[in-house]
Amino acid sequence: MWPMIAGVGPLLGASTLGYFEYPKIKIAWYYENGKSGVINLRGKLTNFELETSLADLPNVPVVVLIDGATASSGEALAISFKGRANTCFIGETTRGLSTNNESIRLSDGATLVLTTSGEADRDGVSYDHGIAPDSKIDQGQILFGAKEDPGILAAIDWLDSRC
């Protein structure tokens, strides 16, 4: 999720974008000046940093296209846009795998990957069962990116109404 957040960070703006929700604590994730990472008890930790960053544009209109194939880190990226002004989610409900996985090294050298927390948006809303779109679009059998892609056409219409 970290490279994706850093890549679209200028659209998100410098801020706390979401939280990893553990049973007794929330750990924030953020974007700022080409950096993405977490804010924990030790402070701001950078997990990914771009060589250069663009100016923030947190108020431009943005459409986030989602569907059942949007899962895991893709859902974390989508959650980062939740609560952002001038943003519309178009498509179908995401997979519902918005969780944080941690690798635990075992004594025999094996690694156990364990889901340790759920994820919430900047307003504290959790998405245990996926992210529902603002505008539901049935893709049907139309290929993503095709000339007649209904999600892209709906996105263009929404953006046209804002610009």
CATH number of residue 40's parent domain: 3.90.226.10
- SS3 of 113, please? strand
Least Cα distance to 156 among 63, 84, 60, 67 occurs for 63
- Domain of 154 in residue numbering reads as 2-162
Count of domains forming the chain: 1
**Measured between alpha carbons, how far is 51 from 98 in angstroms, rounded to an integer?**
28
Cα separation, 135 vs 138, whole angstroms? 10
Neighbours of 12 (CB within 10 A): 24
| Spatial distance between the Cα atoms of 67 and 149, rounded to a whole number of angstroms | 13
Q: Are 30 and 44 in contact (CB under 8 A)?
A: yes
- DSSP E strand stretches across 41-129: 43-49, 62-66, 87-91, 99-105, 111-121
Distance CA 144, CA 148 (A): 9
Please give the pLDDT value at position 16: 98
87-91 vs 135-136, strand pairing mode: parallel
**Beta strand 15-21 with 26-32: parallel, antiparallel or unpaired?**
antiparallel
pLDDT in tens, the chain (163 residues): 999 999 999 999 999 999 999 999 999 999 999 999 999 989 999 999 999 999 999 999 999 999 999 999 999 999 999 999 999 999 999 999 998 888 999 999 999 999 999 999 999 999 999 999 999 999 889 988 899 999 999 999 999 999 8
What are the structure tokens assigned to 142, written together?
Answer: 């139309």
Q: Which of 151, 152, 7, 148 is nearest to 77 (CA)?
A: 7
pLDDT tens digits along 32-75: 999 999 999 899 999 999 999 999 999 999 999 999 999 999 99
